[in-house]
């Protein structure tokens, strides 16, 4: 079914379901934050092991995204979207009912696997619904993109409310009714698409999933164990070997998991690098801004979450209202480069934070500038990465761009955490040292954003048509 054959109300509901998927995938990473101390007390987590309530989700999510994209192309995006929600539902029940740390981590890993099926299928469905109408596609991508910061902020608030007034298992059980509603409406609002003949490259799936999983594991562990620790070097070394083997296998197979020729599509590789560096800059900024608010300015969880609301609102308004108009006028390349540059300016401004600072002077104006840059860069780079691929490889393109952002986020957070720690970010109780560490983190994130702007300026080609002009319709396989 093509985008034009679906009735407008049906398409709108479909878009809301796709946005809800993005909202939930991101919310599941942030909603656990406030609940972690009570989970530690009830389940017996060690201080080091507690971080894996977050990391188990990220490792499974990042490691399985490419496989999820390939399965979406082979078996149909709507089918994989529904299966992903079933897996997420099962993982949520397991995580909520867990009676010990091992079962909790297993539940979080299953949740991450469900998210890895949902995310690429959701973007493929979005392209199926709106890919034939560039103006509508840009607006749809804007709503999809805005759902991510909304989910992150909502997770902070809901996690606090649920933990305080119910109990921590409900941060996971919250997914159950939402998943059931979405599963009920999928057949009515999502295009069926079609199955493609082909096979799953089992060797490729194992090597890339294990390689990406070990890479994310090594990256997130490096900030705790050290970059030169045997554990880190072994994980990263094994990841390099496995990913090298994956590339070799893909080059020889007739039906690979990832057709390497896809990266020859104009702008696809450059747009994915832009997404990778965007994640590597944005996630550390968001992480350390939270720490500055709580550990230096003395905010508790709820005021800290409220302090992020202006930034979230700016991102949503920028993505939905501003970015589509700017793309239509200046093109996706100019907006990607400009957005990353504005993001770097905002982060550089945040680096001026003071130990005795205030939210109104040290945080609000700089965070709004950073949010504006994020909203400008995210939509055009995402849209370019998706539209550069052939329509029948929409799931693969979706998996690649999701993987790029997630791996960039993990790598950026680990690297910036190491930088901040050296500069004093671990000196709890010492506002001056903490501020030095957090300031260094913002400088590092600004450098990453500037590198992204420079690479986008050099590598992205200017589109032959401005976004929003008519082009040949894309149809789903």
Q: Is the pLDDT of residue 55 over 80?
A: no
CA distance 159 to 134: 37
CA distance 372 to 142: 13
CA distance 172 to 329: 43
The string of pLDDT tens digits covering residues 367-377 is 999 999 998 99
Kind plus residue range of the DSSP H or E element containing 66? helix 52-75
pLDDT of residue 320: 85
CA distance 111 to 175: 10
The string of pLDDT tens digits covering residues 349-397 is 999 999 999 999 999 999 999 999 998 999 899 888 888 777 767 777 8
CA distance 469 to 133: 9
CA dihedral 333, 335, 337, 342 (to 10 degrees): 180
pLDDT of residue 267: 86
Domains contained in the chain, CATH given: 1-200 (1.20.1250.20), 263-477 (1.20.1250.20)
CA distance 55 to 215: 12
Q: Phi then psi for 244, rounded to 5 degrees?
A: -65, -45
220, 281, 331, 391 from 144: Cα distances, Å? 27, 20, 19, 19
Least confident among 67-81, 98-112, 387-401, 412-426: 387-401
CA distance 163 to 159: 6
CA distance 154 to 320: 18
User: Within a 10 A sphere around the Cβ of 378, how many other Cβ atoms?
Assistant: 32
Most confident of 21-25, 52-56, 193-197, 448-452: 448-452
The whole-model pTM stands at: 0.79
Tokens representing residue 311 in the block: 């930034």
CB-CB contact of 54 with 84 (8 Å)? no
The string of pLDDT tens digits covering residues 319-346 is 888 888 898 899 999 999 999 999 999 9
The string of pLDDT tens digits covering residues 11-42 is 889 999 999 888 888 888 778 766 777 787 88
């Amino acid at each position: 079914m093509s985008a034009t054959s679906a009735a407008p109300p049906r398409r709108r509901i479909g878009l809301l379901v796709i946005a809800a998927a993005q909202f939930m995938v991101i919310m599941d990473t942030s909603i656990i934050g406030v609940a972690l101390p009570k989970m530690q007390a009830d389940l017996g987590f060690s201080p080091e092991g507690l971080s894996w309530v977050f990391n188990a989700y990220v490792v499974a999510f990042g490691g399985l995204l490419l496989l999820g994209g390939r399965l979406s192309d082979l078996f149909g995006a709507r089918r994989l979207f529904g299966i992903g929600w079933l897996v997420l539902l099962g993982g949520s029940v397991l995580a909520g009912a867990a009676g010990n740390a091992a079962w909790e981590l297993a539940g979080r890993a299953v949740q991450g696997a469900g998210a890895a099926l949902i995310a690429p299928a959701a973007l493929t469905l979005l392209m199926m619904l709106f890919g034939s109408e560039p103006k509508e596609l840009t607006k749809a991508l804007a709503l999809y993109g805005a759902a991510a910061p909304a989910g992150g902020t909502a997770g902070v608030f809901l996690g606090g409310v649920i933990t305080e007034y119910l109990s921590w298992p409900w941060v996971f059980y919250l997914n159950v009714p939402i998943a059931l509603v979405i599963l009920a409406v999928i057949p009515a609002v999502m295009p069926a698409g079609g199955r493609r003949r082909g096979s799953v490259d089992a060797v490729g799936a194992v090597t890339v999933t294990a390689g990406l999983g070990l890479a994310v594991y090594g990256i997130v562990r490096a900030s705790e164990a050290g970059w030169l620790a045997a554990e880190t070097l072994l994980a990263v070394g094994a990841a390099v070997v496995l990913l090298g083997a994956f590339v070799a296998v893909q080059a020889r197979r007739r039906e690979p998991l990832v057709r390497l020729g896809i990266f020859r599509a104009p702008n696809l590789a450059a747009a994915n690098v832009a997404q990778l560096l965007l994640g590597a800059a944005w996630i550390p900024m968001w992480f350390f801004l939270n720490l500055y608010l709580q550990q230096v300015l003395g905010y508790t969880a709820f005021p800290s979450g409220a302090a992020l609301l202006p930034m979230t609102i700016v991102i949503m308004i920028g993505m939905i209202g501003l970015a589509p108009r700017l793309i239509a006028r200046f093109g996706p390349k100019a907006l990607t480069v400009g957005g990353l540059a504005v993001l770097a300016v905002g982060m550089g401004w945040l680096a001026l934070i003071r130990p005795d600072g205030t939210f109104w002077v040290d945080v609000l104006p700089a965070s709004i500038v950073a949010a504006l840059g994020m909203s400008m860069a995210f939509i055009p780079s995402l849209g370019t990465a998706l539209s550069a691929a052939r329509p029948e490889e929409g799931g693969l393109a979706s998996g690649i761009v999701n993987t790029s952002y997630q791996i960039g986020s993990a790598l950026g957070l680990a690297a910036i955490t190491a930088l901040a720690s050296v500069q004093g970010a671990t000196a709890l109780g010492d506002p001056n040292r903490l501020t030095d560490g957090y300031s260094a983190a913002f400088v590092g994130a600004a450098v990453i954003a500037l590198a992204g702007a420079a690479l986008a300026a050099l590598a992205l080609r200017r589109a032959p048509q401005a976004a929003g002009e008519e082009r040949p319709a894309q149809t789903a396989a």
